Amino acid sequence: MRLRISPPVAAILSLCVVISWSSGLQAQNGCALTALPAIQTLPNRIPVPTSTMARRFRSDRVGVPATLPVLSPYYANEPEATGSNEIGLFVPMRNVNRANKPAERIRPTAKEVTQPETPQKPSKPIRPTVAERIRLRYADPRVVRMLRQLTPQGVESFYLEVSELIDERHLTPATYAQRVDGALDHLTQALEVPSFVETAGVRGTDAKISAFREDLQRLRSQIRVRNTNDAIAVLRDVQNRASRSIVINPSAIGLEFLYGATDSLDQFSMLLPPEKNGGPSVGLSDNLVGIGVEIESHPLGLRILKLLPGGPAAQADFRSGDIITHINDKEIKQLEMNRAVDLIVGPVGTPVRIQATRGNRSGNVTLMRQQIALHSVVDVRMEDRQHGVGYLKLEQFADSTMNEIDDALLSLHHQGMKSLIVDLRGNPGGLLTTAIALSDRFLSSGTIVLTKGRTQADNSKETAQYSNTWKIPLIVLIDHNSASASEIFAAAIQENHRGLIVGEKSYGKGTVQTLFPLQTFPAALRLTTAKFYSPEGREMAGVGVTPDIKVSAEPTEIRQTDEVLNEALRRMEEQRTKTLTEGYRRSTDATTEPNVAA
């Protein structure tokens, strides 16, 4: 889920015309096709083993069916924290680390989804201040829409459901005293944040607003809160006090009680508002709607960082570095990024008018929003044909990843692959079941991962079950952005002595999140419900995977070669790699290469 924190913010958009860059933009008639995978997705030739995951993560809530677990790497408290937001189909890509890819999205399900969560940031995130979180929160169109839909009675039901889930499933739930204290602190600070004041409809003299804030501070030292009933009583009391002194939407007070509760938890637990279409923001989808580019904030609007290969934007001749300055004739220079992104979101097949610049040239074009496929395998090639070394770059662990992996491995096999390098650098993670399935492709026996939480449903031990595995020598590349599912796979390969790990120490994600689409409101709640451990029982949180061969490869302006990949190629020819593979073969019942179709 990403996620899946603070790289640049990537938005997935989808165009439907050809653009000619001359003195201006000119739209030609016709509509671009939906983006296709770099490797065509075909039916699995090697069936994915059935996991016990669905049984283990059964919901204990009435009417909520069991669903598959999901993993995600490094998401700090809220996507908004770095000035951009994961809005609908847009993946935040912040700052300038262009090695980072779109943040992990969480697979949509009818009810509950479980996921080791995803940091979307390359380095350890610094949690923003309460005031900064509030400012960014109410600059988010999703939160604004959510507040407009909530009633005072509805927000109480919303709060009760969230509280119940925290009590039942969070790994280390905060006390009600801590949650309510956080809510009162939030509300006190929110009354000085312009975005909240505007959205909540706050009106009153400075003296009355100041007096109400002081009243809230006194209340923090006076109340004793032990359970949900106490918390709701305080919520109602605050609403009554507010109505006697200032004008404010009572639902905004309730919403800050909600955020106060979730912000009292760990940085990976959070409330996810509904998307523009009204659905919950919980889907890790392989297909999004947009115009097919990744973007970041720019003083003039939005700068295109990357075009999705084969997507409509690429076909329309947009380029990295182009600046989007107007959307539907509205200048976006002064807009928060998530507000600008919200203007581009819309149903498939609807138009959006884009004005963009390239250098000193600019132009306008009307584009049609299209569905775009997102792909996990982004590069497959024979890196060294002479020695039969194949290379596979994996960007995320998504629902369709194993189809792409199987097709990639089959293609490399037909090209004479005798050994394989799997590149997980910058991969923030994804679905837990996919991490297990990928490990099973190379491990015919042994433990893959363990999870431990408060409930029996959160405790598990996954072992390799699929005997018809690939027996070729294997090297896995990781770096400090490799997280969650990436770390599960790397640790499984390393601690089962199946291959070498080369590169930098991984992120150290190590916790499992469960996503709960809510029943009282079309939002979702993500809670940390467990930790995951390596096959040898080593805790991964804050530790990660230490490579067998350490290679530091921080980008520089003069660096022209991939030092990590070159080291992997050198090691592939060494006896150690071959010995690891042969030793693993002897310790299992493995026999031959997987059956492959011609």
Q: What pLDDT is stored for residue 279 in this prediction?
A: 57
- Residue 588 near residue 582, CB atoms below 8 Å: no
Query: Which of these, 166, 138, 191, lies nearest to 263 by C-alpha position?
Result: 166
Q: What pLDDT is stored for residue 405 in this prediction?
A: 96
Work out the average pLDDT over 405-413.
Answer: 96
pLDDT value at 549 more than 60: yes
Q: What pLDDT is stored for residue 588 in this prediction?
A: 60
Residue with more model confidence, 3 or 596: 596
Question: If you ran DSSP here, which 8-state letter would residue 74 be given?
Answer: B
Q: From the CB of residue 551, how many other CB atoms can be counted at a distance below 10 Å?
A: 18
In the chain, the domains with their CATH numbers are 8-43+284-373 (2.30.42.10), 128-266 (no CATH), 377-586 (3.90.226.10)
At 364-384, the pLDDT tens digits run 888 888 887 778 998 999 999
H-run or E-run covering 212? helix 206-222
Residues 6+ apart with CB under 8 A from 484: 4, 71, 72, 73, 74, 116, 117, 118, 119, 428, 429, 430, 435, 507, 509
Query: Which of these, 304, 313, 287, 309, lies nearest to 15 by C-alpha position?
Result: 313
H-run or E-run covering 463? strand 460-463
Q: What pLDDT is stored for residue 125 in this prediction?
A: 55
Work out the average pLDDT over 208-228.
Answer: 95
Residue with more model confidence, 590 or 423: 423
pLDDT value at 513 more than 80: yes
Least reliable range by pLDDT among 105-109, 292-296, 370-374: 105-109
Work out the average pLDDT over 585-589.
Answer: 60
Work out the average pLDDT over 216-239.
Answer: 95
In degrees to the nearest 10, what's the CA dihedral of 77, 80, 83, 88? 140
Q: CB burial class (10 A; 0-12, 13-18, 19+) of residue 163?
A: buried
Rounded to 10°, the helix 152-169/228-245 angle is: 150
At 159-198, the pLDDT tens digits run 999 999 999 999 999 999 999 999 999 999 999 999 999 9
pLDDT value at 117 more than 80: no
Residues 6+ apart with CB under 8 A from 473: 418, 419, 420, 499, 572, 577, 578, 580, 581
Work out the average pLDDT over 93-100.
Answer: 31
At 124-145, the pLDDT tens digits run 556 789 999 999 899 889 999 9
